[in-house]
Amino acid sequence: MSDAPVPADGDYMRRVRESVAGQRVLSMIGARLVHVGPGEVDLEFDHHPNLTQQHGFIHAGILSTVLDSACGYAAYSIMPADAGVLTIEFKINLLSPARGGRFVARGRVTKPGRIITVADGTLVSVNADGEKWIATMTGTLMMVRNREEVRG
């Protein structure tokens, strides 16, 4: 229904991988890039006590960190090779406590734009019973060029 995201640069997978590798906060969290497609990025991470609030659930801010990176790189994947991406704002809704094993954050471009791109993300926990929705995000990303403060 919406415009399908199309990569502007054939080498986008390499660019995304390199930029993800440069996000030191993702290393601290232990997040891994597990999927890249045009307008699509999935990041995965495991429960760790360092990431929790006082009841042992993953803190909403850590969920936000991984979801924001997934949404930001989903937008970045369809940008020109010399572009960078900035998060302007995002909103997250927490649907269930983030307990247990493994988490997957999926960022998807909803509306690609010349300057502004909108992406939506979902974060699920994964266990033997399947997936459970933990959080959803909507983020607004801006393409920047030739600026110091770019991500990408």
Q: Please report whether residue 87 would count as binding a copy of itself according to CB under 8 A.
A: yes
Site map for a copy of itself, 10-29, x if CB under 8 A?
Answer: ---------x--xxxx-xx-
CA–chain centroid gap for 62, Å, is 12
Minimum Å gap between C-beta 145 and a copy of itself is 12
Helix (H) or strand (E) holding 42: strand 40-46
- Amino acid 24 reads R
Given a contact cutoff of 8 angstroms between Cβ atoms, the answer to whether 84 and 150 are in contact is yes
Give how far Cα 120 sits from Cα of 14, 63, 73, 136, Å: 22, 14, 12, 7
142 SS3 class: strand
Q: Single out the residue of 16, 62, 78, 123 in contact with a copy of itself (rule: CB under 8 A).
A: 62
Pick the closer one to a copy of itself by CB: 40 or 66: 66
Give the residues lining the site for a copy of itself (CB under 8 A). Answer: 1-2, 19, 22-25, 27-28, 49-55, 57, 59-62, 64-69, 86-97, 110-111, 115-116, 118, 120, 124, 130-133, 136, 138, 140, 142, 148-152
